[in-house]
Amino acid sequence: MQDKIKKFLYDLFPINRSISGPGTRETLDYIKGNFLPRSIIKSIKSGSKIFDWTVPPEWSVKEAYIKNKFGEKIIDFSSNNIHLVSYSEPVKQIIDTESLLKKIHTLPDHPDWIPYRTSYYKRNWGFCCEHNLLSSKKFTGPFEVKIDSNFDDKGQMNWLECSKIGELKDEIIISTYCCHPSLANDNLSGLVAATLLFEYISKRKTKYSYRLVIAPETIGTVAFLSQANTKNIIGGMIMTCVAGPGNFSIKEGFDKNHWINKSALHAVDEYTNSNFDIFPFVPDGSDERQYSSPGFKIVTPSIHKSKYYEYDEYHTSADNLDFISSENLEKSLEIYISWFHNIENFCHPRRLDIYCEFQLGKVGLYPQTGGSINQPSLKENQKLKDDETPLKIEEKHIDAFQWLMHLSDGNNSNLDIAEKSNLPLKLINESIKIMLEKNLISIS
């Protein structure tokens, strides 16, 4: 899997993506051609009105550079595409040092890094570079500035959708964005992980239906929501920043008590052995802002490894392929797969007989030799050794059976029962399956 992830990352990293243009289409075509052949690449015309937004002209760039007085290219889009402010307008002129400095973005606290900047909705131009360049002998004017870019008012903005039909019409959204150029953790890692997660889901029989959306951040998701049938969407996940060296974390959905949010918490908690950070919902960040708006109210938590805003390399040239790793991305993917299974297993168990305990022993769910349960003086590996059930019930399952008998009234979900019993969700789900097989409960 790591070799597959690594190739995916290295193939897409150099592409100059923005909210529209050939780089975005090339990225989506790659995903459709190599991973999700049934996906659909959709488009909306530049100038289209979508809620309070207008789709901007399609932007493309052939070359962009700055030459010093000696004719040397000291900033060059072809060497790193974040050198150019995204959506820069065409420029060809000679400019003095003072005027050029007004168009240059740097990071004085990290003088060897290049910042990433955009100007999507106001015509402007600019370059980004290492702060050290400004104090070097190379930064000597006058300067030749050239930006060979194009704005197409008759262009389009693209995004990708792929659907997996389940037993139910209820739909889960898997959303990520595709509008950043060569930034590895922010943008690219989420795009790769979301594609691989959906590839995994698409090969399985599922209870819920799923929809992958890969769109330019903000404006692309606004476009998707403007034309989507959202009445069946019951929740989702935002995938971004999943391959960095930092700690695992979760940004909760706006309703932290929603079962989608709880199922995510259980997944990351179990995988990390409770070693993760929790960020409460705030209406900023990524496309959870759009999904959670009052007209939709779709709960969309996100699980991260080095969350945006939380690492210095964010939106700089230091967020590169050396900063992330395929191993870390695979770990995040494993958590998301666990989250998917938690979603699929979500249910409300109900006892078929609501009076008193079941006599579990007669159905092989309790040892026939009594007295050893919870006996402190008995070694753990000796407990339940007289149990002859072929299901190999352990003492931990008996704890879960007791809680299920107590709480399975149809009002408590499996997530609620795990929370109230302080038992692992995985154990509760195993025990529900066993009790289902013994015809003691039903689920809805």
pLDDT (tens digit per residue) in 160-198: 999 999 999 999 999 999 999 999 999 899 999 999 999
DSSP SS3 for 334? helix
Assess whether 290 and 437 both reside in one domain.
no
CA distance 18 to 378: 64
Task: Grade residue 373 by pLDDT with cuts at 50, 70 and 90.
Answer: low
**Residues 233, 325 within the same domain:** yes
Q: Are residues 274 and 184 in the same domain?
A: yes
Pick from 375, 371, 442, 361: nearest CA to 404: 442
* Count of Cβ atoms closer than 10 Å to residue 111 Cβ: 13
Domain range enclosing 122: 58-152
Average pLDDT on 318-333 reads 98
Residue 165 and residue 46 share a domain = yes
| Residues 172, 208: Cα–Cα separation, whole Å | 7
Beta bridge partners of residue 73, listed in sequence order: 67
HSE (CB half, 13 Å, CA atoms) of 290? 27
| pLDDT above 70 as % of the chain | 94
The pLDDT of residue 368:
65
Beta strands in 71-227 (DSSP E): 73-76, 91-95, 104-105, 127-128, 143-152, 156-164, 171-177, 209-215
Looking up residue 83, the CATH number of its domain turns out to be 3.50.30.90
Q: Work out the pLDDT band at 26, boundaries 50, 70, 90.
A: very high
Write down the pLDDT at residue 385. 52
User: Order of strands across the sheet with 58-67?
Assistant: 73-76, 58-67, 143-152, 91-95
Tokens 């992980």, residue? 193
- The pLDDT, as a whole number, for residue 361 is 86
Predicted local confidence at residue 223, as pLDDT:
98
d(CA 81, CA 16) in angstroms, rounded, equals 6
Q: How high is the pLDDT of residue 395?
A: 77
**Stretch 144-173: mean pLDDT:** 98
> Token pair for residue 152?
């197409």
How far is Cα 18 from Cα 114, in angstroms, rounded to an integer? 17
Judge if 45 and 174 occupy the same domain. Answer: yes
pLDDT confidence of 44, banded at 50, 70, 90? very high
- Mean pLDDT over each residue of the chain, to the nearest integer: 94
If asked whether residues 161 and 288 sit together in one domain, one would say yes
pLDDT at residue 379 greater than cutoff 70: no
- Residue range 269-319, pLDDT digits in tens: 999 999 999 999 999 999 999 999 999 999 999 999 999 999 999 999 999
Q: What is the CATH number of the domain that holds 265?
A: 3.40.630.10
Higher model confidence: residue 89 or residue 371? 89
Answer yes or no: do 141 and 281 share one domain.
no
Same domain, 434 and 331: no
- What span, in angstroms and rounded, lies between the C-alpha atoms of 33 and 217? 22
Q: Are residues 37 and 182 in the same domain?
A: yes
Q: What are phi and psi for residue 176, nearest 5 degrees?
A: -150, 170
Per mean pLDDT, which range of 29-33, 324-328, 373-377 is the poorest? 373-377
Is this structure's pTM higher than 0.75? yes
Q: Quick one: average pLDDT of 390-408?
A: 84
Using left for φ > 0, alpha for ψ between -120 and 50, and beta otherwise, residue 154 falls in: alpha
Q: Are residues 33 and 65 both part of a single domain?
A: no
Omega before 424 cis (within 30°)? no
For residue 57, the number of C-alpha atoms closer than 13 Å in the C-beta half-sphere is 16
The last residue of one of the domains, among 120, 152, 184, is 152
Q: What is the DSSP letter of 356?
A: S
**154 vs 380, which has greater pLDDT?**
154
Nearest to 260 by CA among 163, 171, 168: 171
- Does residue 19 contact residue 25 with C-beta atoms inside 8 Å? no
Average pLDDT rounded to a whole number, residues 30-44? 98
Query: Which of the listed residues 152, 181, 211 is the one where a domain comes to its end?
Result: 152
In this structure, are 121 and 35 located in the same domain? no
Tell me, what's the pLDDT at 53? 98
Q: Is the pLDDT of residue 382 over 50?
A: no
Higher pLDDT, 374 or 313: 313
Between 131-140, 309-318, 361-370, the lowest mean confidence (pLDDT) is in 361-370
Please give the C-alpha separations between residue 253 and each of 60, 216, 407, 437, in angstroms, as whole numbers: 35, 21, 26, 34
Q: How confident is the model at residue 404 (pLDDT cuts 50, 70, 90)?
A: very high
Last residue of a domain, one of 124, 152, 180: 152
What are the E-state strand segments in 22-137?
40-45, 49-50, 53-54, 58-67, 73-76, 91-95, 104-105, 127-128
Name the band, by pLDDT with cuts 50, 70 and 90, for residue 227: very high
Size of the chain, expressed as the number of residues it contains: 444
Mean per-residue pLDDT, 114-120:
98
Is 266 in the same domain as 373? no
> What pLDDT is stored for residue 394 in this prediction?
76
* Region of poorest pLDDT, from 3-17, 270-284, 289-303, 384-398: 384-398
- The two structure tokens encoding residue 87: 């959506």
Domain count of the chain? 3
Q: How confident is the model at residue 175, as a pLDDT?
A: 98
